[in-house]
Structure 1
Amino acid sequence: MHRFRFTIVAVCLLLAWLAYGELTLALRNPAPLEITLDQLQRSGPPREWLTITGGNQDLTRAINMSGTMDIDSFLVPLTTTKGEKAPEVWFETRDPQVLATLKKYYFQFDTEQEKQAFIAANADLFYGPKTLTGMTVSGLVAGSNRDKLSKLLEEMNVPVSPKVIFISEGKKPIVWRGLLFAIIAILGILKLSHSIKKERSA
């Protein structure tokens, strides 16, 4: 019985910790903070939820994150200049237009000449300006996720800046998740307290 109670307390404390992290994240980020790519590269991310302006995406260097034919996301560099050797900002995208374009680029052409002609016909998308809204890699597994993404780039022989920043496009704070964790933690503690009082009064 004591072991069961200890487990319940441990789970409730973990949920309370998760709730604290989610809710404080939402409080720090009531809306995306607008920042230029140049400012982000010079000073780092001042908050987690950002709208980044002044950058260009380079789809010719996009990386398939699944490593299989079943592609649902790409990792794309956001650069200030075309051909930047070690981009400091990369973003994960699931944009349907980008996915469709890159799948066609990688799988429907047999020659480099055909690929280059396709890029030229879609230059605005391949090298176009990009206003990016999303969240930096954050939370309990931030370090692990960052390391995995950095390793993915290294495996593709892509130079990785020591100050590399990863952004998940379209991601934003989820308030309800923090509230749910908090409610479950409180209900668990109340239930445990009630059972202890009932046992003592028996």
Structure 2
Amino acid sequence: MKRFRFTLLAVCLVLLLLGAHDIRLLLRNPAPLTISLADLERRGAPRDWLRIRDARLDLLEAISTSGTIELEAFLVPLKTVRGQQPVRVMVETRDPAVMELLRTYYFKLDSERERQEFLAKNRDAFFPQREVTGMLVGNLIATANRDKLLGLAKQVGMDVSEDVIFISEDKTPPKWRGVFFALIGLAGLIKILWPRREPSRNTTG
């Protein structure tokens, strides 16, 4: 019974930790902070929710995060100019236009000649310049995911900085999840630490 209570106590504390993290994240990021790619590379990420301007996506260096033919997302370097090395900022994107372009380039063309012709006709699409909005990957909860993405980039031989910044495009701070976790964790703690006492029975005859 005591082991069961300790397990519940641990679960409640974890929920409180997760809830506090999400609430703090939301309070620190009421709206995305606009920053240029050059400033982000030089100063680092001042907030978790960013709108990055003056960014050029290098889709020819994009990496599939799934590692299989079933494409889920791509990890794309962001650069101020083409050919910039090492890569200091990367975005994890599920943009349908990007997904379809890379799916066609890698899987729907039968020869290298066809790929080169397709690239020549769509060169601007492979190096688009646009704003990128999303959440920073690498906080307390997502550190393991950041390490996985960094390992993936190095595995394919990309020249990537050790302190590379990863952005998950279109991701936003959770609005209600933190409050829900905190309330559930707090309710559980109250239940465990202040259990309801059973009324005493009168044993006199």
Equivalent residue number for residue 197 of structure 2: 198
Given that 1:73 and 1:93 are in contact with CA atoms closer than 8 Å, whether structure 2 keeps it comes out as yes
Moved more, 70-79 or 123-132: 123-132
> Quick check: 1:32–1:51 contact (8 Å CA) kept in 2?
yes
SS in 1 for 2:27: helix
Q: Which structure would you say has the larger Rg? A: 2
Aligned partners of 2:138 and 2:166 also within 8 Å: no
2:42 is matched with 42
* Secondary structure, aligned partner of 2:160: coil
Q: What letter corresponds to residue 191 of structure 2 in structure 1?
A: K
Aligned-pair CA distance for 1:91: 0.4
Comparing 147-156 and 135-144, the one that deviates more: 135-144
Tell me what 1:101 maps to: 101
For 2:4 and 2:184, locate their aligned partners in 1 and report how far apart those are by CA, in whole Å. Answer: 17
Aligned position for 2:203: none
| Mapped contact 1:21–1:139 kept (Cα < 8 A) | no
Deviations 1:67-93 (A, max 9, x none): 101101000011011012321111000
1:44-69 superposed Cα distances (whole Å, 9 cap, x missing partner):
00000000001100111111110101
Partner of 2:129: 129
Quick check: 1:48–1:138 contact (8 Å CA) kept in 2?
no
SS at match of 1:158: coil
Paired residue secondary structure (2:8):
helix
Letter in 1 for 2:153: L
User: Does residue 25 of the first structure (1) align with residue 25 of the second (2)?
Assistant: yes
Q: Secondary structure of the equivalent of 1:76?
A: strand
Equivalenced residue count is 200
Identity over aligned pairs, percent:
47
**1:112-123 → structure 2 map (5 Å cutoff):** 112-123=112-123
Point out where structure 2 has 5 or more consecutive residues left out of the alignment. 201-205
Q: CA RMSD in A?
A: 1.5
Give the alignment's TM-score, normalised by structure 1. Answer: 0.93
Q: TM-score, normalised by structure 2?
A: 0.92
Query: Greater share of helix residues, 1 or 2?
Result: 1
**Secondary structure of the structure 2 residue equivalent to 1:114:** helix
